[in-house]
Structure 1
Amino acid sequence: MRLMTGGIAAALVLLLSGCTAPAPVATPVAEPTPEESAPAGPLLCGDLVADVNLAAVMTGSDGVVPDPVRAIRPNDAFDAVELAAAGGLGCSWRVGVAPTTTYAEGDDLAYLSIEVLPGAAAQWQPAWAGDAPSEDTLAVGAIEASTAVGESGWQLTAPVGDAWIAMRLTASGLGTTGSRYDGIAPDEMLSRLGDVAEATFEAVQGATPEQLAWPAATSQRQGDAVCNGGLDPQGIGMALDTTFTETEVYDPTTSAPRSFGEAVAAAARSYSCDYLSDSLRGPHISVVYGAGSFFDLLGQADVSTAFAPLDLSTAAGYADGDVALRAQVTDGPAAPVLMRVGDSVYMIFSKDGATAVAEAVLAQIR
Structure 2
Amino acid sequence: MRSNAAVRTAAAILTVLLTGCASTGADRSVTPPTTSPTPSVLPAASGPLDCADLAPGDLVAAALQGSAPEPVAPVSAVQPEAVFESVLLEGVGGLSCSWRVGSGMPVYDDPSDWAYLRIAVLPDGAAEWVPLESHEGGAVPTRRVGEVDASFLGGESGWVFSAPVGKHWVLVDVRAAGLTAWGGRYRGVDIEVVIDRLAEVAAAAYASVAAAPADGFGPPLVAVGETPAECRGGLAAPGILAAAEAPPGAEVVAFSREEPAASFEEAVALRAGTFTCAIVVDGFPETIIRTARGFGELVDRFDAPDAGVAFGRIEPEGVPEGHTVTAYVEDAGDEPVGRLAALSAGDSLYWIDGARAGAIARAIVAQTY
TM bin, normalised by shorter chain, reads: 0.7 to 0.9
Alignment match, 1:276:
280
- Residues 250 and 271 in structure 1, CA contact (< 8 A), matched pair in contact too: yes
Pick one of 137, 142, 145 that aligns with 2:142: 137
The answer to whether 1:162 aligns with 2:181 is no
Counterpart CA distance in 2 for 1:146 and 1:38 is 25
Matched, 1:344 2:363: no
| Residue aligning to 1:59 | 65
**Which whole-Å deviations, capped at 9, do the CAs of 1:279-335 have from their partners, x for residues lacking one?**
9855310111111222222211100011111122x2355854311111028987143
Instruction: Supply the distance in 2 between the matched residues of 1:124 and 1:363 (Cα, whole angstroms).
Output: 40
Looking at structure 2, the residues matched to 105 and 160 of structure 1 have their Cα atoms a distance apart, in angstroms, of 39
Correspondence list, 1:1-366, <5 A: 39-99=45-105, 106-132=111-137, 134-218=139-223, 220-240=224-244, 246-252=251-257, 254-277=258-281, 282-312=286-316, 314-315=317-318, 320-328=323-331, 333-351=337-355, 353-366=356-369
Relative to structure 1, is the Cα distance of residues 340 and 104 closer, same or farther in structure 2, using a 3 angstrom cutoff?
farther
Change (3 A) 1:318 1:180: farther
- The structure-2 alpha-carbon separation of the partners of 1:53 and 1:105, relative to structure 1 and needing over 3 Å to count, comes to farther
Q: Which amino acid aligns with 2:368?
A: I
Mapped to 1, the partners of 2:54 and 2:283 lie a distance apart of: 49
Q: Secondary structure at the match of 1:98?
A: coil
Provide Cα deviations, 1:36-76, integer angstroms capped at 9, x if missing partner: 99544310000001111111111112453200000010111
Assess, with a 3 A threshold, how the Cα gap between structure 1 residues 172 and 287 changes in structure 2: closer, same or farther: same
C-alpha separation in 1, matches of 2:181 and 2:43: 49
The 8 Å contact of residues 317 and 362 in structure 1, kept in 2 or not, is answered as no
Residues 167-220 of structure 1: per-residue CA shift (max 9 Å, x gap): 1101100111321101223222111111111111111111122112353313x2
8 Å CA contact 1:245, 1:278 repeated in 2: yes
Are the equivalent residues in 2 in contact too, given 1:234–1:244 (CA < 8 A)?
no
Q: Secondary structure at the match of 1:132?
A: coil
1:207 is paired with a residue of what secondary structure? coil
With over 3 angstroms needed to count, the CA separation of the structure-2 counterparts of 1:151 and 1:331, relative to structure 1, is farther
TM superposition score normalised by structure 1: 0.82
Tell me, in whole angstroms, the C-alpha distance in 1 between the residues paired with 2:254 and 2:53: 38
When structure 1 is superposed on structure 2, of 301-310 and 222-231 the one drifting more is: 222-231
Show CA shifts across 1:311-362 (max 9, x none): 22x23558543111110289871431111112211011232x3222111111
> Shift of the alpha carbon at 1:113?
0.4
Structure number with larger C-alpha Rg: 1
Q: For residues 342 and 261 of structure 1, what CA distance do their matches in structure 2 show? A: 24
Question: Matches of 2:261 and 2:188 in 1, distance apart?
Answer: 35
**Matches of 2:74 and 2:324, distance apart in 1:** 33
Please list the CA deviations of residues 119-177 of structure 1 after superposition, one character each: whole Å capped at 9, or x if unmatched.
11011112233343752111112211111110011111100011100111011001113
Could you tell me the percent identity over the aligned residues?
Answer: 33
Give the AA of the match of 2:152: T
Distance 1:114 1:137 in 2: 18
The gaps in structure 1 that reach 5 residues or longer are 1-35
Instruction: Assess, with a 3 A threshold, how the Cα gap between structure 1 residues 300 and 105 changes in structure 2: closer, same or farther.
Output: farther
SS in structure 1 at match of 2:324? coil
Structure 2 regions of 5+ residues with no counterpart? 1-41
CA contact (8 A) 1:112 1:167 kept: yes
Distance 1:60-1:100 versus aligned 2 partners, 3 A rule: closer
Counterpart AA for 1:98: G
Question: What residue identity is the alignment partner of 1:360?
Answer: A
Residue aligned with 1:189, SS: helix
Cα distance in 2 for residues equivalent to 1:188 and 1:104: 27
Query: Using the alignment, how far apart are the partners of 2:161 and 2:331 within structure 1?
Result: 31
TM-score of the pair, normalised by structure 2: 0.81
Residue 129 of structure 1: SS of its match in structure 2?
Answer: coil
